[in-house]
Amino acid sequence: MVRRKKFHLIDLAAKYDFYIIEEDNYSKLYYEKGIATSFKSLERIGKERIFYIRDFSSLFGSSLNISCVLVPPQFREQFLMEKLVLSVFPSKFQQKILETFIISGYLHFFTENLKKKLHYRSKYLIHLLQQIPELRIMHEPTGGFFIWIKLQQNIDEDVFYELCKEKGVLILPGYIFYKDQRNNAKFRICFASTSLHEIQIGIQCIKQVIEHLKH
């Protein structure tokens, strides 16, 4: 969402007395600087309407199960009480590691290095996908480690997913993101931890499946 629309939504929240929940897990992974602006960074002091959530496991993996939450001042006491009653507290050792990681400045170094790797993988993946006419890239990612693809309409998507799975290629069908689980021939590929060689093999398997379904 562009900056202007974010300001407008914040103004609407104040006007109609509602709150915005912002889950900002991937803004550190935009390939170019200055692209991502959070809602939280735009709200006005004294008119806070944003519940801001950041999960560090998106950067470091699920083994570091730590998140941070910023809530509007009027909810802080209630939020802390609820957390004390309901939460399972993360390891203090993990929290100390993360604190050291941030204070030392290594977090910035880590994310910059990770962004370069992800950007290179995304460009390589896009290059391979563009050579398969039955696939259409819905949009080229500007950050993160996902890419959305649309299948040609004459390909049975359920059979496609199953054959890819048999070849060891796990892709996320787009219909699971819809309440009615509609078939829309869209799917998502993740390249978070794959090597270039694994990407090449995976796309080759997808290409073989498509060729099989065409005949």
Tens-place pLDDT, residues 73-100: 999 999 888 888 776 677 788 888 889 9
Domain ranges of the chain: 3-104, 110-214
Strands 50-55 and 20-23: parallel
110-214: CATH topology: Aspartate Aminotransferase, domain 1 (3.90.1150)
Burial class (CB in 10 A: 0-12, 13-18, 19+), 151: buried
How far is 86 from 112, CA to CA, in rounded Å? 35
Q: Is 85 exposed, middle or buried (0-12, 13-18, 19+ CB in 10 A)?
A: exposed
- What SS3 class is residue 91? coil
pLDDT, tens digit, 9 for 90 and up, residues 88-142:
677 788 888 889 988 998 988 998 999 999 999 999 999 999 999 999 999 898 9
From the options 3.30.479.30, 3.40.1170.20, 3.40.640.10, 3.40.50.300, give the CATH code of 3-104: 3.40.640.10
- Beta carbons within 10 angstroms of residue 11's beta carbon: 13
Q: How far apart are CA 16 and CA 61, in angstroms?
A: 38
Does the predicted TM-score (pTM) go above 0.75? Answer: yes
